[in-house]
Structure 1
Amino acid sequence: MKIIQNLLAVSILFAMLTFTSCRTEEVEIIEAPQEEVLVANSPAAILMKNIATNDGSADNIIDNSNCFNILLPVTVFVNGLEIIVDSEDDFNTIEAIFDEFEDDNDDLQIQFPIVIVAADYTQITINNLAEFTALSANCNGPNVSDDDIECLDFQYPIIASIFNANNELLDTITIQTDEQMYNFIDTINVNDIINIQFPITVTTFDGLTITVNDFNELVSTINDYADACDEDDDNDYNDDDCNDCTDNQLTNILTQCTDWTVDKLERNDIDLEDNFTGYTFNFTANGTINITSVGGNYTGTWAASGSGNNISVTVTVPDFTDLNNTWILHEIEQDGETKVDLRLGDDRLRFESDCTGTGGGNVDDTALTNALTMGDWYITYYFDDADETANYNGYVFNFASDGNATTTISGTATPGFWTTSAGDQTALELNLNFGTSVPLDELAEDWDVLEVTNDIIRLKDISGGNGSNDYLTFERNPSGGGPNNLSIVLGSGNWVVSSYTDDGVDETADYNGYQLNFDSNGTVIADNGTPINGTWTTQSSGSVLILDFGTSMPFDELNDDWDVVSITSTQVKVQDVSGGNGGTDILILDKL
């Protein structure tokens, strides 16, 4: 069949294309089938260009802009923490920091200048926030025009042929990338005769590979899948955390793991998880929930259906209506402990299990259990934004091996209960509940265990409200001493770094030969012949050691707010859990 269309001068077309081509040495007469001819502004050309358009929504967690993305690497400050983003994996790091606390105000600041890549792959340098805001003002939100199609992709290479008006083959072009495809489609005009070598292959968002034999099939396939996935243009970074979840996977996890606890419960902006401290939940395959606590046993039902990010989980417990809802499965986490996160709007229910059935499960709680259940204990330190230790003067605590507990003051006993499980920032946590009477209600938390001996138990909790740290210390001696003597201990004599590990990497050798002297005026000197000056102070009545050596290496690595793990007259052990990746740094100072 004869095709009578004119071709633009090949020199103009080639000046606009950046991909490889090979010019035929002799003119060939070839009849191009009509269904394989690509016409400017045709449905096929428009859809192919939309697939090849640069997707600007992948990095919306940084720029909140659908129609461009930022050229990596870029430096951002997330809740004050500096993050160098050099791959899309770092988007998950930012999301993890945002998700660390549900009740804080998340903040992200971009370090300028940056380079952005527009939908047509044009690169633009942005020098400051004002320029960025002006450019992105009309480029965000779910209703912003966004023509790119993200639910399927071309498999390259794709070969295109260019003909003149006499159907003479002028050139064969090999397209290798989306950017080359976009520029190729963008340069076609009504006089061009373009033939695509079929079959070509496309892959869909869910991993399906489809072979397409002509433009009619291509248009049909693209239209079938164009709106089949969530393109994340709405800036809801959390809505794709369960892409690969199934209801069978959820059922297996809930029924095979045992002794679940309520790690998080928020209804109408009110945190309610403390009401379930000491309660354990066990899910059966027949849809029953068995709930156990010191106060009694309860039952409820559960059911799950759906797939991916649309799995509904219906929980019904007549005795605890705060749990009742048809929730949406948000995420399943299996890292140390297992967490099942359910959400509906701003409400949230998260179950946690160590997946081994009893006690601390896959964490060793032997030392804590042995010490806790032996003899009397006294609270010698309690800090919640202020030192409130005096509120617990006179209270005597006893812990039984069956999980029951009692605190007595002036002959009046108050019952309670305790359990252990995997901690949030440490390997082990102690879960306490002595009811709602003041001041014992303040103890109802999941406390990370910092130190355990037969004479002292140090605990820490990150408040769910404002992210501040609470500290609790039990001792055998009611007069204690506990963490309150840190300033006195460090202020006497010279010290050395006997151990320093940074996220498991031993870097102690960097500090060999240095002696540290902590002066009562708040200065600290590290000296190996050449002194390094710094400052030190304590907070939370000695539960936190703050060091600052400025930029002086290697002591700049010690600049941090350190949680005190243990103190003796000759050794101080502190630790810091990173807010970025959850790694743990441990510093041990020994007295000379």
Structure 2
Amino acid sequence: MKKTPKLLSVLLILLSILIVSCRQEENEFIEANPEETLKANSNVANLLLRTSMNDGSDDNIIDNASCFSIDLPVTVNVSGLEIIVDSEEDFDTIEDIFDEFDDDDDDLEIYFPITIVLADFTEVTINSFDEFENFSDDCDGENIEDDDIECADIKYPISTSIFDINNELIGTLDINNDQELYNFIDDLEDTDIVNVGFPIVVILSDGTEVEAFNLNQLEDILDDAKDDCDEDDDNDFDDDDCENCSTDQLADVLTGCDNWMVDKLERNDNDLEDLYVGYQFNFMADGTLSATSNSDTFPGTWESAGSGESISVEINIPNLPDFNDTWNLHEIEQHDDENQVDMRLGDDRLRFESDCTNSGDGNGGDNMGMLGTILQDGLWTVASYLDDGIDETNDYSGYELNFNNDGTVVADNGSLINGTWVVQNSESELLLNFGTSIPFDEFNDNWDVIATSDTSVELRDTSGGGGGTDTLILEKL
């Protein structure tokens, strides 16, 4: 028992040493890695704040405002069609409607109330168009330099350790998204000392991942990247100006898909795409191309040059002069199995489309799916044909249609009219071509499939320019 005071004294001395040691370790934690110590209002902190801001430009096709975004879902009316927008895929749908015709007004109406998300992630409920305008008027216009950095993204999570010299508390925090990082940087005080866990990975606009091993490197990466891309702050969707297009990308798309069709052809204010229904274009890597229609083949050449927004595409098909010119590449679109290449020349326009699912022989074969199976099962009649609202069904009275497995279709009323048929775009379209044979030349088009059953197929086509609608209903005998 007499040894207890001595033992207690030794323990107190050891405890004192341990406390001093811990305090020294705290000081070393703060001071040993100055390149990892994040200060409020420092340049790197401001760059991180700008990188983590809410980017409001993705939905500009709806709100025409880059300084805030609309919280989805939201209901809009686009040129008379009501759409519930709940993903970026619906932005594509809106753009497709806008792009369908060049001589109409692209109207979009937002149904209120909506919730908008500001650059600092504040959410505001908007109940009317007047309230909406109050916010949108505060935004800068298209492609005006703004605070947010869209050319770089932080790869999460990142870890931080915090020491507040006022209360000497040490804490750790994992940051998992832009909103958490923005709030963290925005709440930093001058008295806060933050140590950041490295390495931090930064994802650049071209998808490249770059590692930073200290704050100086992170600052340099973000500073270099902030103006290194087109931030796509125009009021469309997915950067239609082809800023990042290349001739290699164009060649890969054109030669990688078979049987391109003419989706749009406008020359000198004339809509000519209906003249080329059933034509299939194939582009070769050696610069040659061929266009085929029924048994006719038209050879030609193609060539591209330039980069970005200044790519020219020269097409020369001697026997198809409507295509011959040096076009400017406007847009390359790739969505699932549907691909489009859009070219412009002043007010003229040429757009090719391919679903990349046909076998390459122009026939349906095994690629026609359920719709192909239905059409090949028996004979069909024209139950109804409305040409822009005018009933022309009687022109087809007495004809029986036979859809063959080799991609041919025969109309028979005692004399035969031959044509071709192709199901495409995941059975959403039926391409018919009867050449110049009256009256079935009226059916030469790429029809949208509206409804199908074992005994009925309903098709619809909206013409370019004037916007007239044709409806064709086939019924099984």
Structure 1: how far apart are the matches of 2:381 and 2:165?
93
1:321-344 CA deviation, whole Å, 9 max, x = no partner? 4323344273455767x5432233
User: CA 1:369–1:191 in 2, change beyond 3 Å: closer, same or farther?
Assistant: closer
User: CA 1:226–1:29 in 2, change beyond 3 Å: closer, same or farther?
Assistant: same
1:121-143 CA deviation, whole Å, 9 max, x = no partner? 22222221101012101315324
Structure 1: how far apart are the matches of 2:182 and 2:471?
59
Structure 2: how far apart are the matches of 1:246 and 1:286?
17
User: CA 1:173–1:73 in 2, change beyond 3 Å: closer, same or farther?
Assistant: farther
1:408-442 CA deviation, whole Å, 9 max, x = no partner? xxxxx9x997432225775633123329x9x9975
User: CA 1:290–1:48 in 2, change beyond 3 Å: closer, same or farther?
Assistant: same
Q: What residue identity is the alignment partner of 1:387? A: I
User: More deviation in 105-114 or 307-316?
Assistant: 307-316
Structure 2: how far apart are the matches of 1:398 and 1:73?
45
The alpha carbon displacement at 1:398 in A equals 11
In the alignment, is the contact (CA less than 8 A) between 1:104 and 1:467 conserved in 2? Answer: no
Secondary structure, counterpart of 1:138 in structure 2: coil
User: More deviation in 257-266 or 390-399?
Assistant: 390-399
Name stretches of at least 5 consecutive residues in structure 2 with no aligned partner: 1-21
Matched, 1:566 2:475: yes
The alpha carbon displacement at 1:234 in A equals 0.7
Structure 2: how far apart are the matches of 1:202 and 1:32?
25
In the alignment, is the contact (CA less than 8 A) between 2:431 and 2:444 conserved in 1? Answer: no
Structure 2: how far apart are the matches of 1:110 and 1:248?
40
User: More deviation in 445-454 or 54-63?
Assistant: 445-454
1:505-538 CA deviation, whole Å, 9 max, x = no partner? xxxxxxxxxxxxxxxxxxxxxxxxxxxxxxxxxx
User: CA 1:304–1:422 in 2, change beyond 3 Å: closer, same or farther?
Assistant: farther
Structure 2: how far apart are the matches of 1:468 and 1:370?
32
2:75 maps to what in 1?
75
1:53 maps to what in 2?
53
1:172 maps to what in 2?
171
In the alignment, is the contact (CA less than 8 A) between 2:330 and 2:342 conserved in 1? Answer: yes
1:429 maps to what in 2?
431
In the alignment, is the contact (CA less than 8 A) between 2:298 and 2:320 conserved in 1? Answer: no
Secondary structure, counterpart of 2:434 in structure 1: strand
In the alignment, is the contact (CA less than 8 A) between 2:401 and 2:410 conserved in 1? Answer: yes
Matched, 1:356 2:360: yes
1:292-322 CA deviation, whole Å, 9 max, x = no partner? 3469543221235789998764433344343
The alpha carbon displacement at 1:147 in A equals 0.8
Name stretches of at least 5 consecutive residues in structure 1 with no aligned partner: 1-24, 408-412, 473-563, 569-592
In the alignment, is the contact (CA less than 8 A) between 2:164 and 2:191 conserved in 1? Answer: no
In the alignment, is the contact (CA less than 8 A) between 1:66 and 1:139 conserved in 2? Answer: yes
User: CA 1:301–1:122 in 2, change beyond 3 Å: closer, same or farther?
Assistant: same
Secondary structure, counterpart of 1:428 in structure 2: strand
Secondary structure, counterpart of 1:146 in structure 2: coil
User: More deviation in 394-403 or 143-152?
Assistant: 394-403
Structure 2: how far apart are the matches of 1:247 and 1:143?
25
Structure 1: how far apart are the matches of 2:452 and 2:52?
57
The alpha carbon displacement at 1:245 in A equals 8.5
Secondary structure, counterpart of 2:146 in structure 1: coil
Spell out the pairing of 1:84-99 with structure 2 (5 A cutoff). Answer: 84-98=84-98
Q: Which has the higher helix share?
A: 2
Spell out the pairing of 1:361-380 with structure 2 (5 A cutoff). Answer: 361=365, 362-363=367-368
In the alignment, is the contact (CA less than 8 A) between 2:91 and 2:237 conserved in 1? Answer: no
User: CA 1:43–1:458 in 2, change beyond 3 Å: closer, same or farther?
Assistant: closer
Structure 2: how far apart are the matches of 1:84 and 1:294?
41
Structure 2: how far apart are the matches of 1:70 and 1:451?
37
In the alignment, is the contact (CA less than 8 A) between 1:451 and 1:565 conserved in 2? Answer: no
The alpha carbon displacement at 1:49 in A equals 1.1
In the alignment, is the contact (CA less than 8 A) between 1:257 and 1:355 conserved in 2? Answer: no
The alpha carbon displacement at 1:149 in A equals 0.8
In the alignment, is the contact (CA less than 8 A) between 2:259 and 2:362 conserved in 1? Answer: yes
The alpha carbon displacement at 1:349 in A equals 1.7
Matched, 1:469 2:474: no
1:482 maps to what in 2?
none
Counterpart pick for 1:387 among 382, 385, 390 = 390
2:27 maps to what in 1?
29
Secondary structure, counterpart of 2:51 in structure 1: helix
Structure 2: how far apart are the matches of 1:233 and 1:83?
23
Q: What residue identity is the alignment partner of 1:316? A: N
Spell out the pairing of 1:139-218 with structure 2 (5 A cutoff). Answer: 139-155=139-155, 156-162=157-163, 164=165, 170-176=169-175, 177-188=177-188, 193-218=193-218
Spell out the pairing of 1:272-351 with structure 2 (5 A cutoff). Answer: 272-293=272-293, 297-304=297-304, 313-323=313-323, 324-328=325-329, 330-333=331-334, 339-344=339-344, 347-351=349-353
User: CA 1:268–1:116 in 2, change beyond 3 Å: closer, same or farther?
Assistant: farther
User: CA 1:446–1:43 in 2, change beyond 3 Å: closer, same or farther?
Assistant: same
The alpha carbon displacement at 1:107 in A equals 3.2
Q: What residue identity is the alignment partner of 1:358? A: G
**So what's the TM-score if we normalise by structure 2?**
0.72
**So what's the TM-score if we normalise by structure 1?**
0.60
The alpha carbon displacement at 1:287 in A equals 1.3
Secondary structure, counterpart of 1:237 in structure 2: coil
Higher relative contact order (CA 8 A, sep 6+): 2
The alpha carbon displacement at 1:221 in A equals 0.6
User: CA 1:137–1:115 in 2, change beyond 3 Å: closer, same or farther?
Assistant: same
Matched, 1:222 2:222: yes
In the alignment, is the contact (CA less than 8 A) between 2:409 and 2:418 conserved in 1? Answer: yes
1:128-181 CA deviation, whole Å, 9 max, x = no partner? 11010121013153244421112222232231433539xx96433425132333
Structure 2: how far apart are the matches of 1:298 and 1:138?
55
In the alignment, is the contact (CA less than 8 A) between 2:381 and 2:474 conserved in 1? Answer: no
Q: What residue identity is the alignment partner of 2:364? A: G
User: More deviation in 93-102 or 33-42?
Assistant: 93-102
Structure 1: how far apart are the matches of 2:162 and 2:206?
31
Q: What residue identity is the alignment partner of 1:429? A: L
In the alignment, is the contact (CA less than 8 A) between 1:161 and 1:171 conserved in 2? Answer: yes
User: CA 1:275–1:96 in 2, change beyond 3 Å: closer, same or farther?
Assistant: closer
In the alignment, is the contact (CA less than 8 A) between 1:451 and 1:566 conserved in 2? Answer: no
In the alignment, is the contact (CA less than 8 A) between 2:408 and 2:421 conserved in 1? Answer: no
User: More deviation in 443-452 or 310-319?
Assistant: 443-452
In the alignment, is the contact (CA less than 8 A) between 1:433 and 1:443 conserved in 2? Answer: no
Structure 2: how far apart are the matches of 1:349 and 1:302?
15
In the alignment, is the contact (CA less than 8 A) between 2:383 and 2:475 conserved in 1? Answer: no
Q: What residue identity is the alignment partner of 1:428? A: L
In the alignment, is the contact (CA less than 8 A) between 1:72 and 1:86 conserved in 2? Answer: yes
Q: What residue identity is the alignment partner of 1:389? A: E
Structure 2: how far apart are the matches of 1:196 and 1:270?
62
2:12 maps to what in 1?
none
